[in-house]
C-alpha cells in the first residue's frame, strides 16, 4: 500500500512522501488564491471553493482566511454551511460536515495525529482519523475537534471547548474536555439568549 493510500486508513505513514507533497502543494496554491480574493469577488470565491473541496453544496460561505492542510481537498460539505474567520481544517483525511452547520471564528477541526513514541515522531510518522459533524450544528469561537470524532445533528458546542469524545445529537456541550451540559429542550423553543424570548410573529 502506498503512503498516499495510508493517509485514509488510520495507519502510520510518512507525510513527506514526494507524491503526497506534490498534490498538497497544488492544493495549497488554490487555497492561497482563495484567501487573496476581495470581499467583492463573491463569484470567484464560490468557483474556487467548488475546485478546492472534495464536495461542497449550495449556499456555503467561508470568510477568509481559511486554512486547510490540503486546501479542502478532503472536505465534504453539505448545503448552506457558514464558516467565520480563521477556520482551520486539518484535512489530511476526510472531514464531513452536514447542512446548515455554522463555525465560529478560530475553529479547528483536526484529523491528523502523531505517535506518542518519540522515536516514531522523530521520523515524522503520522496517522489520520476522519471527523464527522452532523447537520445544523453550531461550533462556537475557538472550538477544537480532535481526530476521529463524530458529532451528531443539532449539537451546540460552547466557545473554547475541546472535543475529545463523540457527541450525540441534540445536546449543548461545553468545556475542556468537552462534556454534555444538557439536551436541547422546551426552554430553547421559548428563549434564544438568557431572558430574551423568541418572537416568532416578527421573524
Q: What cell does 106 get?
A: 478560530
Three-state DSSP at 118 gives helix
Q: Could you tell me which residues come within 8 angstroms of residue 30 by beta carbon, excluding any fewer than 6 positions away?
A: 48, 51, 52, 71
Give the CA diameter of the chain.
63
Please state, in angstroms and rounded to a whole number, the distance separating the CA atoms of residues 2 and 13.
9
Question: Could you tell me the CA-to-CA distances from 30 to 71, 112, 143 in Å, in that order?
Answer: 7, 21, 26
Residues of the chain below pLDDT 70: none
Q: Which residues are catalytic?
A: 114
> Cβ neighbours of residue 164 under 8 Å, at least 6 residues apart?
146, 149, 177, 178
Model pTM score = 0.96
Please tell me the distance from the alpha carbon of residue 164 to that of residue 150, in angstroms, as a whole number: 10
Residue 21, phi then psi, degrees to nearest 5: -65, -40
pLDDT at 1: 81
The DSSP secondary structure of 120-131, one letter per residue, reads HHHTT-BEE--E
Q: Residue 127 and residue 106: Cα distance in Å, rounded?
A: 24
What are 171-191's pLDDT values in tens digits? Answer: 999 999 999 999 999 999 999
Amino acid at each position: 500500500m502506498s503512503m498516499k493510500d495510508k493517509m485514509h486508513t488510520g495507519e502510520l505513514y510518512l507525510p513527506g512522501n514526494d507524491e503526497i507533497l506534490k498534490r498538497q502543494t497544488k492544493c495549497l496554491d488554490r487555497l492561497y488564491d482563495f484567501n487573496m480574493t476581495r470581499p467583492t469577488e463573491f463569484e470567484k470565491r464560490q468557483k474556487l471553493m467548488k475546485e478546492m473541496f472534495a464536495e461542497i453544496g449550495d449556499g456555503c460561505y467561508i470568510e477568509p482566511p481559511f486554512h486547510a492542510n490540503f486546501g479542502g481537498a478532503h472536505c465534504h460539505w453539505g448545503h448552506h454551511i457558514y464558516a467565520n474567520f480563521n477556520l482551520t481544517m486539518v484535512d489530511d483525511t476526510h472531514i464531513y460536515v452536514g447542512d446548515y452547520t455554522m463555525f465560529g471564528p478560530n475553529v479547528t477541526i483536526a484529523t491528523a495525529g502523531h505517535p506518542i513514541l518519540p522515536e516514531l515522531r522523530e521520523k515524522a510518522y503520522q496517522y489520520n482519523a476522519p471527523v464527522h459533524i452532523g447537520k445544523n450544528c453550531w461550533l462556537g469561537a475557538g472550538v477544537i475537534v480532535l481526530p476521529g470524532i463524530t458529532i451528531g445533528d443539532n449539537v451546540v458546542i460552547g466557545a473554547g471547548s475541546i472535543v475529545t469524545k463523540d457527541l450525540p445529537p441534540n445536546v449543548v456541550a461545553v468545556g475542556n474536555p468537552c462534556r454534555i451540559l444538557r439536551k436541547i429542550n422546551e426552554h430553547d423553543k421559548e428563549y434564544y439568549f438568557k431572558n430574551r424570548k423568541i418572537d416568532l410573529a416578527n421573524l
